[in-house]
Amino acid sequence: MKQLFTLFFSVLVSVSAFAGQGGPDTWGYTWKDSNEPGGPVYSWIDIVSEGGTEVKLLADDNSRGPFPMNFDFTYYWYDVNQFWVGSNGYLLFQNGNIASPFQWGASTLAPNDVVGAFLNDLTFGGINDSAECYYKVNAAKDTLIVSWINVPYFDTNANGQSGNNTFQIILSAVDHSITFQYKDVTPTSPYSGASSVGIENYSGSIGLWFNASTFVSPPENFAIKYYYPVSPTLAVTDAAIIYNDNPETGAIFLTNNSPVAHDLKARVKNYGTVTTNPFNVQGVVKDPVGTQVVANFYQTDTLDAQEYADFTFSQQLNPVLEGTYKYFTITQLPGDYPPSNNSKTQEIVVVDPTLPEVRLGYDDGQTNQLTSINWIGGEGGIGTYIIPPFYPAQITKLHYWNTSNYGDAFSARIFDDDGISGLPYSLLDSFYVESGDIVVSGWTDITLPNPVTITSGGFYLSWDMHGESIALGMTIAAPFSNRSFEVFNNGWGIYRYRETQDPMINATITQGFPTNVTASTFNGIEMYLSPNPASDHATIQYTVPATNEKVWLAITDLQGKLISRQNIGTATEGQHTYTFDTNQYAAGMYLVQMYSGKNKKMEKLVIMD
């Protein structure tokens, strides 16, 4: 799927322009094709009839995974054992999404770790689409085969597709080789020209492309094989920040003036070929006005090649000001190369939980540094993922900043994160916004008639366009959330520019239930929780409907993970008291849930050292 403003070109030359062989790259990979003496022999492998596993939920511009290889495959100087499958004709060894405009050589822009057999604007989302994708690991567990079968290009015709392509990738641990095979090929796509073919390493600093000089798609009944170097000699010294706080370095929301400070965590990895001596990692946090409020150094141990270390900085973050904070980490290893993976920046948004309404978004309230997004064909959308700073949280309003519109509409949707790998699945609510109700160059506000309650995890918000004239604002002011997605026909993929843009989509939330020590009831349960915060014990005074059913007490973390659960009595008439020891729990914020039959009550509890 293409953005309207994206420019593209294709250069058409004859197939005879292929060199037949190429390389080496800096590591030593070379390639030959099936027309070259000594090259691979084209021989299509049918994995569908041999029990291959279907890759489900591929759509337009997305990826699925990770899937296990069940063996170690040596790629460049490191081993990989899991993979992601991209709808646009590639494998990845780290999470990501590749979409137009497609690369024609190694690039340090994310994602990296690419094995691209047929990088182009393919789609699994057309009408009556016959596209399929399967993978299979052989019985010896030394070969992975992934096949894209009858996959068309994205098009703006009535079917949303055109052309047909069938190809496969073969990874062999026997000789560390990579083979691409092409059974059926439509040479060019309507919007992206020829298909790019190549490989690159984890940082995008090294790679080898098959057709970077010809810009011609591989022909049918054709094979390309990448050969691993016999005796690679390159010595690599490279320490990389893998992530801050969470695997996506995804933005988080915190509350200000919290009795519990926030731990600053990170993962660092020796991506090189040699053991590193101990080195420093610096961690810095700046508040909304640019003042440095945290300054940390962590010294690693000696790290063997490909070894990683998880750590927590000694100084914590205890924010006071509301607004957007930047949590920045950087490695300080002498002789390190490349520098492109030495640092990460996480967005931390701090809100005031005492306000009657709390607005959540990744734009820091700024509307003066914007670009816009819309899609060719007038279909498609953009989404964002939000994890609220407290539970339960009630979503009461949605907000969208549209930059243009000439008579079109959009839909606003809310999804739960209960899908595979935490992706959106259950639709919680949706709204169709008519053209006349849309504010251009301003916020379009939607008030939910029935607030949506979130008790754990997060939720997704989407903006779905209904016509080519409408466009959504995208902030280009750093930092960025790494929580944005592109949406097409209910298929969600990582937004191709998530490292440099964020959608102008906000949500307003309120506290779902009272959290102080005054009495409140829900479904017939009345409950007092004190002291709060607690240091060594907490006491619950409660009354429940006299049903003679068991009364249960459950304690979870803020993400809903169960910490403990116990039966504390029977639902009989009168007031009851139960005291429990809090020393067994680490300092932090928890949810205390009491339930009996269909009756339930929930409170937040802060436990201090």
Give the CATH number of the domain where residue 470 resides.
2.60.120
Domain range for 157 = 15-227
For residue 512, pLDDT beyond 60: yes
Is the confidence at residue 66, as pLDDT, over 50? Answer: yes
d(CA 261, CA 112) in angstroms, rounded, equals: 34
pLDDT of 6: 34
Residue 1 lies in a domain: no
Residue 2 lies in a domain: no
Pair 298, 382 in one domain: no
- Identify whether residues 392 and 368 lie together within a single domain: yes
Q: How far apart are CA 381 and CA 598, in angstroms?
A: 39
In a domain, 7, yes or no: no
pLDDT band at 119 (very low <50, low <70, confident <90, very high): very high
For 171-180, 518-527, 553-562, which range has the lowest pLDDT when averaged over its residues?
518-527
Which CATH number is 526's domain given?
2.60.40.1930
Q: Report yes or no on 259 lying in a domain.
A: yes
Per the structure, how many domains does the chain have? 4
What is the model's pLDDT at position 519?
35
Least confident among 87-101, 430-444, 512-526, 575-589: 512-526
Residue 5 has pLDDT above 60, yes or no: no
| Of residues 323 and 535, more confidently modeled | 323
Please, which pLDDT band fits residue 472 given cuts at 50, 70 and 90?
Answer: very high
Co-location of 507 and 524 in the same domain: no
Q: What is the pLDDT of residues 246-272, one digit of tens each?
A: 999 999 999 999 988 999 999 999 999
Quick one: 209 exposed, middle or buried, by C-beta within 10 A (0-12, 13-18, 19+)?
buried
Question: How far is the C-alpha of 119 from the C-alpha of 104, rounded, in Å?
Answer: 9
- Asked if the model's pLDDT at residue 584 lies above 90, the reply is no
Domain with residue 243: its CATH number is 2.60.40.10
Q: Are residues 253 and 131 in the same domain?
A: no
What is residue 562's predicted lDDT score, i.e. its pLDDT? 66
What pLDDT is stored for residue 115 in this prediction?
Answer: 98
Q: Report the distance separating Cα 169 and Cα 117, nearest Å.
A: 7
- Does pLDDT of 534 surpass 80? yes
Answer yes or no: is pLDDT of 181 > 70.
yes
Q: For 262-276, 434-448, 579-593, which range has the lowest pLDDT when averaged over its residues?
A: 579-593
Tell me: do 190 and 46 sit in the same domain.
yes
Lowest mean pLDDT among 101-110, 405-414, 477-486, 591-600: 591-600
Separation CA 399–CA 173 (nearest Å): 50
Residue 232 is assigned to a structural domain of this protein: no
pLDDT at 14: 28
Domain stop point among 484, 511, 538: 511
**Is the pLDDT assigned to residue 518 strictly greater than 50?**
no
Contact partners, residue 176, CB within 8 Å, separation at least 6: 73, 74, 75, 228
Question: Of the segments 289-303, 506-520, 572-586, which one has the largest average pLDDT value?
Answer: 289-303
Q: Are residues 94 and 167 in the same domain?
A: yes
Question: H/E element holding 60?
Answer: none
pLDDT for 358 equals 97
**Residue 343 shares a structural domain with residue 423:** no
For the chain, the average pLDDT equals 90
Average pLDDT of the segment spanning 435-449? 96
158, 192, 227: which is the final residue of a domain? 227
Of the candidates 131, 146, 158, which has an alpha carbon nearest to the alpha carbon of residue 58?
131
Verify that 333 and 421 share a domain, yes or no: no
439 DSSP assignment: P
Tell me what the mean pLDDT of segment 559-577 comes to: 77
Q: Say yes or no: 31 and 174 in one domain.
A: yes
The first and second tokens of residue 331, run together, are: 């490695």
pLDDT, tens digit, 9 for 90 and up, residues 7-43: 332 322 223 345 689 999 999 999 999 999 999 999 9
Q: How far is CA 152 from CA 53, 134, 155, 246, 363, in A?
A: 21, 16, 9, 36, 37
Establish if 4 belongs to a structural domain.
no
pTM of the shown model: 0.79
Proportion of the chain above pLDDT 90, given as a percent: 71
Q: What is the pLDDT of residue 606?
A: 86
Last residue of a domain, one of 459, 492, 511: 511
* Judgement on whether residues 186 and 72 belong to the same structural domain of the protein: yes
Pair 569, 489: CB distance under 8 Å: no
Q: Kindly report which listed range (69-73, 507-511, 550-554) carries the lowest average pLDDT score.
A: 550-554
Report yes or no on 234 lying in a domain.
no
Pair 37, 126 in one domain: yes
In a domain, 10, yes or no: no
Q: How far apart (Å, rounded) are the C-alpha atoms in residues 437 and 201?
A: 48
The percent of the chain in helix, strand and coil, each rounded to the nearest 5, is: 0, 50, 50
Strand-pair category, 343-351 with 252-255: parallel
- Written as one letter, the residue type at 36 is E
- Whether the per-residue pLDDT at 4 is higher than 50: the answer is no
Considering the domain architecture, whether residues 23 and 111 belong to the same structural domain is answered as: yes
Residues 325-359 pLDDT 10s: 999 999 999 999 999 999 999 999 999 999 999 99
